[in-house]
Amino acid sequence: MGVRQDAECRGQSVDGLMDGSRPGGNSVGAAQVIQALMIGGDAARRRALDALVESIDAADQSDESDAVPISQDPLLGLLRAQRQLLTSGRERLHQTLSEVAGRLGPAIARRLASLEGGDLRLVIELARGLSLTSLLPLLQPLLDGVDRWSAILALQAIGQTAGGDATALLVQALNREDLRWTAVSLLADRNATETMPNVVRLLGDPNPDVRIETVRALLVFGDGRLVPYLIRCASNDLDSRVRDRAENAARRIAARHSIQLNEADLRPVVRIEMPDSPMDRLLAEARQKGASDVHVVPGSPPAFRVHGELMDVSDQPLTREAADALILPMVPKRLRADLERDLGIDFSHVVPGVGRHRVNVFRERRGWSAVVRLIPGEPPRLRDLGLPPIVHEIASLNQGLVVVTGRSGSGKSSTMAAMVDLLNELKPVHIVTMEDPIEYLHERKRGLVNQREIGRHSESFPQALRAALREDPDVMVVGEMRDLVTMRMAVEAAETGHLVIATLHTPTAVGAVQRLIEAFPVAEQQQVRLMLADALRMVIAQTLVKRRKGPGRVGAFEMMVCTPAISGLIRENKLSQVAAQMQIARADGMKSMDVALMELAQAGEISPEDAYSKALNKEAFRSLLPAG
């Protein structure tokens, strides 16, 4: 039963809903309370809130000999039940609970001081949602606890609380190596400019991830006095990722304050070796020009794809011999026999001091050709990619299937890497990725990430998936579900308790679901529908569109969230109705591709012509086009 079904319409009184949360009750009561709190009318919600608080007070006021066991704690019963909701649902629930935040404060305080493990973390998350300053003294001791994940959640709860006392606690956390990154990020999010002296010192932190987050915080602060510090970082930091971000931040702050920069001051002082081979030098040049891909084809000049458009590097076409000289030295020796046999191969190519690359070498009528994708130095962030806020809910999922779909070159790998990076930052989980080839590298943060390359560390996706199930994973990342066996194993893994993130090549979210179902034999498709209805959590369909102003491309994202209504349509084989359901469920974070394109066009991010060319229902976009 979905949380959106009104409890009262089933003939139940709201006062009776708390029976399952009182001692001796059952878990159904807590779920029904959530229904009343989230979707009941004002009167029903008020009665449910009063009943909840009274039930908690009664449990907390019991004599020690008559104390309520933790397993029957009414507040914990509610918090455990709300784990079945996506983050947007939890936020709506917490927003409702904020109406009685003052009355809940003492109960939360008692549990912060007495609970541990998963139950403690549930209460910390509630404290974060309610943002009560009275809880700061109870949250502070948790920062020194042995449970690192609880400490991080407590710091995040502090960061959500207004006032100077919370800011002071965040500044204190800068002295803790295991909390420093989170503290800097939270200070940036609250734009705590008064902490600039404390933050700027972290440009010398030994951890490059902390330095990168420090640069982001300084950019958010935007004070002109920070420019010299950023210039020094841009020229002296040993990590190219930090240098690049510091240079960008210095330029943006300087432009904001009309500060003239000396270009010579921004040049790196550290020694940077230029690559020796012609192909590696070409790749280094491509990065300098902001290219995403390099094309090497006999009979044509080398070409860079910059902001979605191909640009010839020179006027001289490559001879067959010249193309071979660029391409073949990149091919690892272990793969040369495979290339000769299969006439095409994928692999990763690392150029020291330049970066990682995904390479596809193939045979065509003129000889060997190659397309090289340039991989940024670190995984992107969801906010930098422009993904809708609903995507952050992946951090609240413990199991299920999340699918990223889109045509080739639509940015699926970047979205998937951003999801992995988010989980790596926020949760102490074991993540196993299966990629062909490995693109972004994920360093150890709060999670543990093991990355396996198909063809190098495992023979195939099915074999890698089978092995991953024996490696105690919390999250499994499948670079591409390209065959039936991989799809079957991914769906089964999602259904049996793992969070699985995978990609497909379809233009729409509904198309991805249809592709998954139709890949199975007809006799199995009804069972697959049932499995997907239970296991599927979210489908992101995406495309990249050229920016209207300035360089680069912007992502347009279609979002399908598996609410009970969507799950029911999948279960009943009514996929033709899913698109309509997405249109009326905007409150759940859903959005069609046409709506995403329309929003970008109306905001001036993309041109009406480009929006029209990408739209499915083009008639709706005709009014945006110039007359004639």
Would the pLDDT of 550 be above 90?
no
Lowest-confidence range among 61-70, 492-501, 612-621? 61-70
Residue type, 167: T
Residue whose entry in the numeric block shows the structure tokens 């949250």: 139
Per-residue pLDDT tens for 245-289? 898 899 989 988 999 988 888 877 755 556 678 999 999 889 888
Per-residue pLDDT at 227: 94
Would the pLDDT of 368 be above 50?
yes
Per-residue pLDDT at 400: 93
pLDDT level of residue 300 (50, 70, 90 thresholds): very high
The total number of structural domains in the chain stands at 5
Which residues, in sequence order, are bridge partners of residue 504?
405
Query: What does the alpha-carbon distance between residue 615 and residue 613 come to, in Å, rounded to a whole number?
Result: 6
Per-residue pLDDT tens for 29-58? 566 677 777 666 777 778 878 888 888 888
Would the pLDDT of 18 be above 50?
no
Q: Do 311 and 183 belong to one domain?
A: no
Element (H, E) at 318: none
Lowest-confidence range among 75-89, 119-133, 210-224, 485-499? 75-89
Per-residue pLDDT tens for 124-165? 988 888 888 999 999 999 998 877 778 888 998 999 899 999
User: For residue 450, what are its two tokens?
Assistant: 């093991």
Q: Please give the order of strands across the beta sheet that includes 400-405.
A: 448-453, 430-435, 475-478, 499-504, 400-405, 536-546, 553-561
Query: What does the alpha-carbon distance between residue 186 and residue 153 come to, in Å, rounded to a whole number?
Result: 12
Per-residue pLDDT at 271: 55
Q: Do 160 and 218 belong to one domain?
A: no
Cα angle value 238/239/244 (rounded, 5°): 115
Q: How many CB atoms lie within 10 A of CB 256?
A: 13
User: For residue 78, what are its two tokens?
Assistant: 């509610």
Cβ–Cβ under 8 Å, residues 516 and 492: no
Cβ–Cβ under 8 Å, residues 523 and 488: no
Q: How many CB atoms lie within 10 A of CB 222?
A: 14
Query: What does the alpha-carbon distance between residue 172 and residue 211 come to, in Å, rounded to a whole number?
Result: 18
Would the pLDDT of 355 be above 60?
yes
Lowest-confidence range among 36-45, 350-359, 425-434, 585-594? 36-45
Q: Do 500 and 559 belong to one domain?
A: yes
Would the pLDDT of 68 be above 60?
no
Of 237, 271, 305, the one marking the end of a domain is: 271
466: exposed, middle or buried (C-beta count within 10 Å: 0-12, 13-18, 19+)? middle
Would the pLDDT of 87 be above 90?
no
Could you tell me the CA-to-CA distances from 487 to 278, 412, 513, 562 in Å, in that order? 41, 17, 11, 18
CATH code of the domain covering residue 558:
3.40.50.300
Lowest-confidence range among 455-459, 485-489, 535-539? 455-459
- Of 156, 227, 165, the C-alpha closest to 196 is 227
Query: What does the alpha-carbon distance between residue 495 and residue 475 come to, in Å, rounded to a whole number?
Result: 13
At 598, is the secondary structure helix, strand, or coil?
Answer: helix
Per-residue pLDDT at 99: 83
Of 331, 350, 375, the one marking the end of a domain is: 375
pLDDT level of residue 17 (50, 70, 90 thresholds): very low
The single-letter DSSP state of residue 163 is S
- Label residue 62 left, alpha or beta by phi (over 0 means left) and psi (-120 to 50 means alpha): beta
Q: Do 51 and 126 belong to one domain?
A: yes
Residue 16 forms part of a structural domain: yes
Q: Do 515 and 407 belong to one domain?
A: yes
Which residues, in sequence order, are bridge partners of residue 305?
293, 310
Which contacts of 338-342 are long-range, i.e. CB under 8 A and separated by 24 or more positions?
338/455
The single-letter DSSP state of residue 207 is -
Q: Do 398 and 491 belong to one domain?
A: yes
Residue 387 forms part of a structural domain: yes
Which residues, in sequence order, are bridge partners of residue 351?
355
Q: In terms of DSSP H, where are the helices of 343-431?
A: 382-385, 412-426
Omega cis (within 30) before 437: yes
Q: Which residue has the higher pLDDT, 308 or 136?
A: 136
Would the pLDDT of 475 be above 90?
yes
Query: What does the alpha-carbon distance between residue 7 and residue 39 come to, in Å, rounded to a whole number?
Result: 9
Pairing of strands 448-453, 536-546: unpaired
At 347, is the secondary structure helix, strand, or coil?
Answer: strand
CATH code of the domain covering residue 204:
1.25.10
Per-residue pLDDT at 503: 95
Q: Do 401 and 361 belong to one domain?
A: no
User: For residue 164, what are its two tokens?
Assistant: 């100077």
Domain span including residue 257: 191-271
The single-letter DSSP state of residue 320 is H
pLDDT level of residue 189 (50, 70, 90 thresholds): confident
Cβ–Cβ under 8 Å, residues 400 and 494: yes
Q: How far apart are the first and last CA of the chain?
A: 53
CATH code of the domain covering residue 318:
3.30.450.90
- Concatenate the DSSP letters of all residues of 98-131 into one string: GGGHHHHHHHHHHHHHH--HHHHHHHHHHHHHHT
Residue whose entry in the numeric block shows the structure tokens 């007809």: 522
Would the pLDDT of 8 be above 80?
no
Q: Do 86 and 148 belong to one domain?
A: yes
Query: What does the alpha-carbon distance between residue 265 and residue 262 come to, in Å, rounded to a whole number?
Result: 6
Element (H, E) at 557: strand 553-561
Residue 278 forms part of a structural domain: no
Per-residue pLDDT at 23: 38
Query: What does the alpha-carbon distance between residue 530 and residue 301 come to, in Å, rounded to a whole number?
Result: 52
Q: Which residue has the higher pLDDT, 584 or 4?
A: 584
Residue 276 forms part of a structural domain: no
pLDDT level of residue 380 (50, 70, 90 thresholds): confident
Q: Do 328 and 463 belong to one domain?
A: no
pLDDT level of residue 96 (50, 70, 90 thresholds): confident
Query: What does the alpha-carbon distance between residue 554 and residue 466 come to, in Å, rounded to a whole number?
Result: 37
Angle subtended by helix axes 117-130 and 148-159, to nearest 10: 10
Instruction: Give the residue-averaged pLDDT of 359-385.
Output: 89
At 585, is the secondary structure helix, strand, or coil?
Answer: coil
Per-residue pLDDT at 273: 59
Residue 285 forms part of a structural domain: no
Quote the distance between the C-alpha of residue 144 and its chain's center.
28
Q: In terms of DSSP H, where are the helices of 442-541?
A: 461-468, 484-495, 509-518, 525-535
Query: What does the alpha-carbon distance between residue 403 and residue 453 come to, in Å, rounded to a whole number?
Result: 20
Query: What does the alpha-carbon distance between residue 443 and residue 395 come to, in Å, rounded to a whole number?
Result: 18
Q: Do 580 and 597 belong to one domain?
A: no
Per-residue pLDDT at 39: 65
pTM of the entire structure?
0.59
Q: How many CB atoms lie within 10 A of CB 110?
A: 15
Q: Which residue has the higher pLDDT, 438 or 187?
A: 187
Per-residue pLDDT at 31: 65
Residue 396 forms part of a structural domain: yes
Instruction: Give the residue-averaged pLDDT of 87-103.
Output: 77
Per-residue pLDDT at 567: 92
User: For residue 298, what are its two tokens?
Assistant: 């006999």
Of 375, 398, 423, the one marking the end of a domain is: 375
Sign of the dihedral defined by the CA atoms of residues 511, 515, 516, 517, in that order: positive
Instruction: Give the residue-averaged pLDDT of 551-561.
Output: 89
Per-residue pLDDT tens for 315-340? 899 999 999 999 999 999 888 998 99
Would the pLDDT of 350 be above 70?
yes
Cβ–Cβ under 8 Å, residues 434 and 465: yes
Q: Do 58 and 202 belong to one domain?
A: no
Q: Do 492 and 603 belong to one domain?
A: no
